[in-house]
């Protein structure tokens, strides 16, 4: 079947198939609050990163339509040529104010932002020191920058410090996620910030799963820890999760952001996002700030989930209060089988396998949403308890 492909590709595909690492897609025909119509079947949806259920909000849809009426579809060019509109400028200003940072720059996605930041600020003489569980986009950015790339054990800051000490003669860049996308654990950013100051490293934080969720007003990791701009040099805020939109904001001081505008290839060489997306994202940002019930309900569900998991001895990767709940299974084959059984019972959770997680650490990733109800969580945990009962003593 793959006889036109190079042998190393064929080998990789065969190995993936043998080790239950093949990927396939499901068709989401419709999303309805806590449920989704998937491949013709209505399932309780525990897979969505739209934690606050904003993507389908009436105000967001209206803003999107209004934006399309005014601007049409495409932006017509790179932001540096002809693609930068009033809508883009308004969105950057709104996020700079919301995050209390001097300036913000809108990238086309979190992936673009992470590649852009890392290839701008790291080079072959830099040492990048990162949490072992950082997202692929951060790791890919580090590789692309040609820096020396070292990783410390997950949330083990003493290990991070050992690496910083060892490499302190080189320019240093320390990077982490705020809320880990697969484990749901929260980084202690104040500790990392102190390390960054002590060893004169640049600190970059990816707040993909903190924005909208953490902090009284949904300001994310900086509001959660009451951090000042100087505590995090480069804050990356992808908009596809808690904001329910698309794109990513990078914020920091004037100099840092101007450097990105001047130098980041992923900023320069991409057509700017459609202006209508910016209009819709502005509406989403307003909802984050005004409809705090969404965050309050979600936080309640996060705590409820942990409590109910503990009483059933369900092993979670982290007990931190975030909407990402990960149950470590180990074998990819077994994780897939459990996922399939849950689907048959009307429950959709994601099955995360290597290389997204380390080898032999396949897990079921459950994401909570402010539209879930307690009884849906109880139903899921009861099913999981039964399926895992052989492991749980
Ligand atoms: C999803 C994600 C990204 C990528 O963001 P996109 O906008 O989807 O490209 C980057 N970092 C983390 C931690 C993520 O979870």
Check residue 74 and give its pLDDT. Answer: 98
Query: Cβ(128)–Cβ(171) under 8 Å?
Result: no
Check residue 263 and give its pLDDT. Answer: 98
**Atom 14 in ligand 1: which residue has the minimum CA distance?**
208
**Atom 5 in ligand 1: which residue has the minimum CA distance?**
110
Is there an atom of ligand 1 within 6 Å of 109 CB?
yes
Query: Cβ(245)–Cβ(280) under 8 Å?
Result: yes
Mutate to test the pocket of ligand 1, among 55, 112, 132, 137 (most ligand atoms within 8 A of CB): 137
Ligand 1 closest atom vs CA 135: 13
Tokens of 86: 């009033």
Q: Which residues of the chain have pLDDT under 70?
A: 1-3, 391-393
Is there an atom of ligand 1 within 6 Å of 181 CB?
yes
Ligand 1 center–CA 16 separation, angstroms: 24
Ligand 1 closest atom vs CA 209: 15
**Separation CA 56–CA 59 (nearest Å):** 9
Check residue 3 and give its pLDDT. Answer: 64
Domain ranges, ordered by start, for the chain: 26-51+292-389, 58-290
Mutate to test the pocket of ligand 1, among 238, 241, 249, 270 (most ligand atoms within 8 A of CB): 238
Ligand 1 center–CA 208 separation, angstroms: 6
Task: Give per-residue pLDDT as tens, 68-110.
Answer: 999 999 999 999 999 999 999 999 999 999 999 999 999 999 9
**131: phi then psi, degrees, rounded to nearest 5:** -65, 140
Is there an atom of ligand 1 within 6 Å of 110 CB?
yes
Class of domain 58-290: alpha beta
Is there an atom of ligand 1 within 6 Å of 250 CB?
no
Check residue 392 and give its pLDDT. Answer: 53
CA dist list (Å): 316 to 4, 150, 310, 320, 393: 44, 27, 9, 10, 15
Give the active site residues: 49, 135, 177, 181, 206, 209, 241
Is there an atom of ligand 1 within 6 Å of 135 CB?
yes
Mutate to test the pocket of ligand 1, among 206, 270, 365 (most ligand atoms within 8 A of CB): 206
CA dist list (Å): 212 to 70, 139, 285: 28, 24, 8
- Its pTM stands at 0.96
**Atom 3 in ligand 1: which residue has the minimum CA distance?**
110
Domain spanning 26-51+292-389: CATH 3.30.70.660: no
Query: Cβ(230)–Cβ(214) under 8 Å?
Result: no
Check residue 88 and give its pLDDT. Answer: 98
């Amino acid at each position: 079947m793959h006889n036109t492909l190079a042998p190393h590709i064929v080998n990789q595909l065969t190995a993936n198939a043998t080790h239950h690492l093949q990927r396939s897609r499901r068709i989401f025909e419709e999303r309805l609050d806590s449920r989704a119509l998937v491949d013709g079947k209505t399932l309780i949806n525990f897979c969505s990163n739209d934690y606050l259920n904003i993507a389908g909000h009436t105000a967001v849809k209206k803003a999107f339509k209004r934006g399309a009426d005014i601007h049409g579809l495409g932006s017509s060019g790179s932001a540096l040529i002809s693609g930068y509109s009033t809508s883009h400028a308004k969105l950057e200003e709104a996020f700079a104010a919301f995050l209390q940072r001097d300036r913000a720059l809108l990238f086309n996605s979190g992936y673009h932002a992470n590649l852009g930041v890392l290839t701008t600020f790291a080079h072959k003489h830099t040492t990048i020191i990162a949490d072992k569980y950082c997202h692929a986009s951060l790791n890919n950015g580090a590789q692309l920058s040609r820096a020396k790339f070292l990783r410390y054990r997950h949330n083990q800051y003493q290990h991070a410090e050992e690496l910083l000490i060892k490499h302190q003669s080189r320019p240093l860049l320390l990077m982490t996620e705020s809320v880990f996308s697969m484990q749901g654990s929260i980084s202690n950013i104040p500790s990392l910030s102190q390390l960054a100051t002590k060893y004169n490293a640049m600190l970059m934080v990816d707040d993909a799963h903190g924005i909208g969720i953490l902090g009284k007003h949904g300001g994310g990791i900086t509001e959660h820890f009451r951090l000042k701009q100087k505590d995090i040099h480069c804050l990356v805020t992808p908009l596809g999760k808690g904001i329910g939109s698309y794109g990513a904001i990078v914020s920091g001081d004037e100099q840092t952001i101007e450097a990105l505008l001047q130098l980041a290839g992923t900023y320069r060489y991409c057509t700017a996002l459609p202006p209508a997306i910016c209009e819709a994202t502005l509406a989403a940002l307003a909802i984050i700030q005004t409809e705090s019930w969404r965050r309050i309900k979600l936080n309640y569900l996060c705590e409820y989930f942990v409590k109910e998991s503990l009483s059933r001895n369900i092993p979670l990767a982290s007990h931190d209060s975030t909407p990402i709940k990960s149950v470590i299974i180990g074998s990819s084959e077994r994780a897939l089988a459990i996922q399939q059984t849950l689907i048959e019972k009307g429950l959709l959770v994601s099955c995360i396998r290597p290389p997204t997680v380390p080898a032999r650490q396949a897990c079921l990733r459950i994401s909570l949403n402010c539209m879930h109800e307690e009884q849906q969580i109880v139903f899921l945990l009861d099913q999981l308890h039964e399926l895992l009962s052989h492991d749980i003593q």
